[in-house]
Structure 1
């Protein structure tokens, strides 16, 4: 059933140009064989076009028909593209990759994946949106139909452009942990493995909803445009903890620190976003408070999955703040589970 769903999604995409992509590298040399095509168009009106190629790094412009906007997507191609490869969707946190708080900028994860037989897909956009479908346009954040983008538009276009195997996994940190768990529930089997680091899945109880309000409000948005006012049934309908039964059958890796300073909370650590004592103090104090909150949320999710007898790997550390050094480590710890879902060696 899941395989048929993937085939159906891919069948909705028509490859418009069948020529091999030819890009220009740093030395001006042609880079052949990047993708099976350089454009793809879906019957829903979404479309994709390769706009830049730098060695194995490909930049794609996706036009989302649902949102009426273009979204930049970065793709790291595997070294060997002679046979189809799966896709790992590596999702950034609250800034949506629009700022410097990205996996590329702050970790070696993309380099770690360079020798793996996988397409690494990194969308850029959707800051503060929780990557979900909002019920109304927001005066600050605009039209947000990111769930439709991640379920119905992006994967099918990526499959068409890069001739993938159709197997997907997804990993995310912070705000977008909620998002990828929602995606796994909404379309079981699309993402075979899910790795979630330092997030708060629950959104419908007063505390969880307040977390959402704080995140969305940081970007100037109004969360009532997302799921309505407090008490609206949409909050419960979109809560991954309440609806955790939908995670059954998905490989799950979920990690968090507990907010106490640890190995990456020290001067000179390469993962400090802001150098010096001020940056360290911010990471320890602010990052500590945030991580203590995600620890509480993660334990609630763990309790719910245990109650439902749904298998999941939980990595609950006795230290660690809300910061990149811990997410880099967590990603590498989760890689075997992600690779299992992608049906490739770890």
Structure 2
């Protein structure tokens, strides 16, 4: 599949073009819109991406220092808000918890990484710089963050969460993936296909699979950097379960493809779990006997993960 994708790009003549280097100017807070006493929309002028990025924050109604949990979206983020708030009960669930839940808005098929080249479809993607360098100081300053952070995400966002935790181990105390494959090498065909399927050129991200940048973004190869962190992973098997009769308009194709996708994710999670065990790195891995790649299951596992993640963050 990777070879086919590369051939398509070669024939179409859409090879990567050089991007201008990002400036060193700090990101600037534009404004904050209070949507409720426990939810705010933050608009940040990102120097790295050269545009304004919206970030939704769920936060306690009162003051006091608290940790922050950066929670990433999937391949097709919601418009105007994170799909976590659109498709799950994340907002009421975190309403009584002393934590900032930081929800970036946008980043379709970005893998929340710094792309090597600007993309004709997506423009400038420098999400790693935004999430790890530009955003945390603003969150801590505006929402009483105490410098303790965790990161998680579903599907694409879970893969990205493990990449960012492995590449920036000093920044995160805990990492979680909901139906996520943290083995970039194993997921390479799916990553290439998913970006191309959304109209982007995956070669603009890390170059061709097998290049050094793919290895530099592979948590399976960088797993030693996860030692000492609280690690949570969840997966179903792809076998239909209790939520299959529910319709989630946020991702209707999962009614058809959710089973096969989750089957592949499950194989990856099993393999990654074995990798961690081989290194003596503890992890909580929730394997469900049923369940597809869909939002109702991610809501369930968000709830199931929080006692572990909240304890690690001191929330």
Give 1:96 shift. Answer: 3.0
Give 1:284 shift. Answer: 4.5
Q: 1:67 aligns with which of 42, 46, 49?
A: 49
- Do 2:26 and 2:134's aligned partners in 1 also have CA atoms closer than 8 Å? no
Say yes or no: does 1:333 pair with 2:304: yes
Give 1:172 shift. Answer: 0.7
CA distance in 2, matches of 1:44, 1:97: 28
Give 1:283 shift. Answer: 3.6
Change (3 A) 1:284 1:60: closer
Q: 1:130 aligns with which of 88, 97, 111?
A: 111
The TM-score, its normalising length taken from structure 2, stands at 0.87
CA distance in 1, matches of 2:249, 2:77: 19
CA distance in 2, matches of 1:58, 1:109: 14
Change (3 A) 1:63 1:117: same
Question: SS state of the match for residue 44, structure 2?
Answer: strand
- Residue in 1 aligned with 2:194? 215
Question: SS state of the match for residue 297, structure 2?
Answer: helix
- Do 2:151 and 2:165's aligned partners in 1 also have CA atoms closer than 8 Å? no
Question: SS state of the match for residue 120, structure 2?
Answer: coil
- Residue in 2 aligned with 1:158? 139
CA distance in 2, matches of 1:100, 1:215: 22
Runs (5+) with no aligned partner, structure 2:
1-23
CA distance in 2, matches of 1:187, 1:235: 16
Which structure: larger Rg? 1
CA distance in 2, matches of 1:314, 1:173: 14
| CA root-mean-square deviation | 1.9
CA distance in 2, matches of 1:138, 1:302: 34
- Do 1:261 and 1:284's aligned partners in 2 also have CA atoms closer than 8 Å? no
Q: 2:168 aligns with which of 182, 187, 211?
A: 187
CA distance in 2, matches of 1:229, 1:195: 27
More contact order relative to length (CA 8 Å, sep ≥ 6): 2
- Residue in 1 aligned with 2:7? none
- Do 2:44 and 2:53's aligned partners in 1 also have CA atoms closer than 8 Å? yes
Say yes or no: does 1:292 pair with 2:263: yes
CA distance in 2, matches of 1:51, 1:219: 30
- Residue in 2 aligned with 1:117? 98
The TM-score, its normalising length taken from structure 1, stands at 0.80
- Do 2:72 and 2:158's aligned partners in 1 also have CA atoms closer than 8 Å? no
Runs (5+) with no aligned partner, structure 1:
1-42
Question: SS state of the match for residue 102, structure 2?
Answer: strand
Give 1:101 shift. Answer: 7.4
Say yes or no: does 1:102 pair with 2:83: yes
Say yes or no: does 1:323 pair with 2:298: no
Cα deviation 1:243-287 (Å, max 9, x = unaligned): 111111111110000100001012xx3xx2149xxx6xx545310
Say yes or no: does 1:273 pair with 2:255: no
Give 1:119 shift. Answer: 1.6
- Residue in 2 aligned with 1:312? 283
